[in-house]
Amino acid sequence: MQRYWFATLIVLLLAPSGSARAQMVSARRTAMGGVILTGGGSGFSGRNVAYRAVPAAPATERTFSLPIGLIPFLADLPTFDSNDPDFNVFELTNLLYNPPWNLPLVQPKTPSSDITVAVSKNSLSADLGDIAAIFPKDHSRIAAVAEAPAVTFGAKRIFFGLAPLVEYDNDLHLNDALHAALAEGAAFTPRTEYALFDKAHGQVAAGAQLGWAAPVMERGDPRGDGAGLYAGVRFKLLRGLAYGDADNVAVFTTTDTLFGTDPVDVSYTGRMRSAGPSDGGIGEGFDLGLVWLAGGLELGVGVENVATRIHWRVRETLAYSDSATGEYVDSTLSKGTAFTSRVPTTVTVSAEERIGRVLVAADVLSGLHQVQAHLGAELWAGRVAWRAGLSNDANREIQYAGGIGLRMGGVGLDLAVASQSRNLSRERGIDLGAGLTFYRGENP
Amino acid sequence: MNLRRLVLCCGLAAMLAGCGNHRLVLRVDVLSFLSPAQAGQTFGPLPPSPFPVTSVLVNDLDVNLLEGLSGAAVVQSVTITTRATFTDLTGSGADTLRVYLSDENTDPLTTPAALVLPVTLSPGVSDTVTATLGDDPRVADLFTKKRMRMSITTTLRPPASGPALTGSRRLLALDAVAIARRKDF
């Protein structure tokens, strides 16, 4: 069990997504609210393939985030031993939401209070304490698409690459009655239906990419007084390695008397599909990108995983509670059934412009059940950069960030302080990030 | 009377408790499961006699108390508190309320009383008495099972002489509090 937890943690730590990944990429980005900072060239083509064709900015930098949060984390490791009294799966889950890369200055509280259940003949109420906060009023969703950095080989406008793909999505929803009982401590009432719905799926595939990116139009110096329009497309050939989904529904309806002589039966139905490497088929899809440069303004639109599908041969099973025996039954409905999964499309719109001495950048990411926006600014005063930013996160909360950068020749040190609510109870915490930057040319 | 599926949703609560370093505190109002006739009675007239009279108020109540809890958590302690009011109209004597708890294969009345509530009765006096059971390993162990059985008896001691004993008794509270910790994840 301990090894399982540790392995799971390591795998997920290595494949964080979204804003959690941003904090590991750059302290400069973190200080600017996590906004996407572009600069042209192949290194910026992750979300917008057209950037492969965009000429690199005269002043660019390469940043390396320093894992200063790992030191206290390793010094005081959480227990992975489920028999240890201090074992807390909520603490471990929070680590997956927010890997300990940055140093926590204000750490969100881990759910740890007692749970109190009060029962009488016609009344049942549950005070879940801190845990109640993990049940949001609407759907609780965790979703991500992670494509490992592609190994690419390019010749002129054509390039080829390899990049595995991992995608997962979980949607947990309680009906109003059950939510009120669990999250708000409302008493369970007679003649009421309580229901829990959970839909989850995940898939892993190996991928090969073949792409094209080129200027569509260029006039003068696109990064100077001229203009340029750049486009790119990246076709993906995928080979399914593993797939699983589950659609679970648990329902019970209380009778006239909560705990009278009539038993209350929980009706559970779970429909599942699964496939292993030998059941994986071929999939396909593509990414599109467009970038416009003019007069110092840079606009980009990247669309990832357009019409991306993977074909499988799945095993379908149905699990349900047998009302006659009260036992749970797991039956196989079919084997080798053809099934096609989809990879959700995400859209990224980014903009960057220098207004006087201030660099302003913004982006909007849409997809995976959410829309996130980031806005950041950077002002260089001599060798010091002052940065600030804000964003709305996956929980629709505004997060704030700020920081400084100190440049000494070609090397710089960046510090960032940013708020975040990447934890089960969505409490706000504050992290300190640090990084090194290697500059080429003037200040970016 | 059957406390079926008493902790239907305690299963989920127990699971949640099992996931963290929390305790699950289960408060059960046992009195609410008793009928009015079981919760309050009048007694007498009992003429003077050297022999006590025992009657069963609750006969072998089936309690499926911890169906959702036993798999996920270990019961650390159980506290049972009872409070009753006794009114003596005539005569003097004594009354003793006893609560018996046993596993599903044992008649509760063959086990030692888990809780004893004695009271001395004086004519014209109404008295409210409270008794608490705590840290009894045998009772705590019962709460780790899926089912247990409960009986409640009362033993009246009539007056040695004088007027016959008449009066009433009423259970005001019978609460069980079980505190459990995660067994394993």
The end-to-end CA distance of chain B, in Å, is: 34
* Distance (Å) from the alpha carbon of B110 to chain A's nearest alpha carbon: 26
Closest residue on chain A to B2 (Cα) = A261
Interface size A-B, in CB pairs within 8 Å, comes to 101
Residue type at B112 in one-letter notation = P
For A188, which DSSP code?
A: B
Interface confidence (ipTM) of the complex? 0.77
8 Å CB contact between A83 and B13: no
Residue type at A279 in one-letter notation = D
Enumerate chain A positions whose Cβ falls within 8 A of a Cβ in B.
Answer: 1, 82-83, 85-91, 110-124, 126, 128-129, 131, 181-182, 188, 194, 252, 259-264, 266
B13 vs A86, A126, A263: nearest CB: A126
Tell me whether residues A116 and B181 touch, CB distance under 8 A: no
Name chain B contacts of A123, Cβ cutoff 8 Å. Answer: 29, 32
Tell me whether residues A128 and B2 touch, CB distance under 8 A: no
CA B33 – CA A256 distance, rounded (Å): 14
Pairing assessment for the beta strands A328-343 and A280-294 based on DSSP bridges? unpaired
Tell me whether residues B25 and A114 touch, CB distance under 8 A: yes
* Distance (Å) from the alpha carbon of A288 to chain B's nearest alpha carbon: 43
Positive or negative, the CA dihedral A220, A224, A228, A232 is positive
Peptide bond into B45 cis (omega under 30): yes
CA A415 – CA A433 distance, rounded (Å): 6
B22 vs A113, A181, A182: nearest CB: A113
pLDDT in tens, chain A (444 residues): 344 444 444 444 444 444 455 555 689 999 999 988 877 665 667 789 999 899 887 777 788 889 998 888 888 888 777 667 677 777 777 787 778 889 999 988 777 667 787 877 777 787 877 777 777 777 777 788 888 767 788 777 999 989 899 999 888 888 999 888 888 888 888 888 889 898 999 999 999 999 999 999 999 998 888 999 999 999 999 999 999 999 999 888 887 766 655 555 668 889 999 999 999 999 999 999 999 999 889 999 999 999 999 999 999 999 887 777 767 788 899 999 999 999 999 999 999 998 888 999 999 999 888 888 999 999 999 899 999 999 998 778 899 999 999 998 889 999 999 999 888 777 899 999 999 988 876 666
